[in-house]
Structure 1
């Protein structure tokens, strides 16, 4: 490969790395192409060539950040696909919390900015990148709850787990907003926090499964 062949790839990668960081720091609205180009040591023409416009660069840098996070912390948490459902769900929870807690996780920082200032680009990212992760966790929750669980049971359990995980995003925001506060136990020891969420969530799912099987089993007997 010649230098002329490799240069476009290098330029594109510099733009992705720089854009993901600046979008994470400032959000879509406050970020300018000029700033990205300056820090990436590139020019606006290169953005037009590789990404067409700011919106496409935003989406591609978001995907790049997401892929980088998954490369460091695979979504299965290192648990084998044939392991029991509880172990697989625990691995997924640990991976999600590790990605959120990571200091350089631009993907979740961009999500945090999106929640504060939504763009019309969010549905595409949700559908192509986030929804498969969501469906995988829902399938594991369903397996843990057993065949008698209904959609509401599964949805509520998923909301509970995600709420605990995304709590870290709020804590990271608070740490930046209120730096004078020095004690953030979830961020100081995210591994311990992940174990807490795993134990808390699995215990709740087991308790709910027992209640479902007892109450719905009795109903079936009564019929």
Structure 2
């Protein structure tokens, strides 16, 4: 590890990342306008389901979606299998859209210092989870959070792949920050501690917004949260091997059952 990384560098990363986001957001909006006009039955059902799920969450019905899409219920079964698979397909597509708007590298190159890479990744995750780009986007994101936290069965393969992707990105960063001094069990404990901070903000969105007397999070909010998580994590990670000698067996946060909370009645608040 080389140069010292301070707040000025984090701020520079955030400014450039949000500029990149603005360009990606415009491309996403143009893409949404194009796909919404697709005439085939599958696309018509899919695009309508996206809107209906955003409006009504878990309480949306297949008949409601088909009525709005001018399609038969049998067409949903033919193209998607059932309502849960249709919802999972909508959420998977939306997750990839978020990753296009907020790529997980956070605007930081792989050759950068590990502190910078951890901040970039944290900023990407927090921004993707908390920043809104319209009512439909916000409501679908809340439904996506619910699918991850409460283990929506039809979405579990996507959730598992996503969790492994996140772990694969963060593990080498944390390992480098420790000076490669930790064993696998210790690394798992550090990763659990880091990701639990991300889970906290997702699981307490309403409380945090109420406390701030805001309806949505701003770019500045996301930057501040990301900087806090990063600074707190780096301090703990770098000192872990010197301060920790007890045996610990953390539950795996890659299986989010240990983070389950009360499911929102309709998936959206």
- TM-score, L = length of structure 2: 0.62
Q: Which residue of 1 aligns with 2:84?
A: 55
- Determine whether 1:80 maps to 2:106: no
Unmatched tracts of structure 1, length 5 or more: 1-5, 216-223
Deviation at 1:163, TM superposition (A): 1.9
Q: Which residue of 2 aligns with 1:67?
A: 96
Q: Give the Cα separation in 2 of the matches to 1:116 and 1:158.
A: 17
Q: Give the Cα separation in 2 of the matches to 1:162 and 1:173.
A: 19
Q: Which residue of 1 aligns with 2:161?
A: 128
Q: Which residue of 2 aligns with 1:149?
A: 182
- Determine whether 1:97 maps to 2:126: yes
Larger Cα-atom Rg = 1
Q: Give the Cα separation in 1 of the matches to 2:230 and 2:53.
A: 31
Deviation at 1:22, TM superposition (A): 4.5
> Is the contact between residue 45 and residue 69 of structure 2 (CA under 8 Å) also seen in structure 1?
yes
> Is the contact between residue 57 and residue 143 of structure 2 (CA under 8 Å) also seen in structure 1?
yes
Q: Which deviates more from structure 2 when the two are superposed, residues 75-84 or residues 48-57? A: 48-57
- Determine whether 1:203 maps to 2:245: no
Deviation at 1:27, TM superposition (A): 4.8
Q: Give the Cα separation in 2 of the matches to 1:186 and 1:209.
A: 39
C-alpha RMSD of matched pairs (Å): 3.2
Q: Report which of the two has the higher share of helix.
A: 1
- TM-score, L = length of structure 1: 0.73
Q: Which residue of 2 aligns with 1:110?
A: 143
1:107-145, Cα deviation, whole Å (9 max, x unpaired): 642344336754433431222333212322223222222
SS at match of 2:180: coil
Between 1 and 2, higher relative CO (CA 8 Å, sep ≥ 6) is seen in 2
Pairs aligned (count) = 202
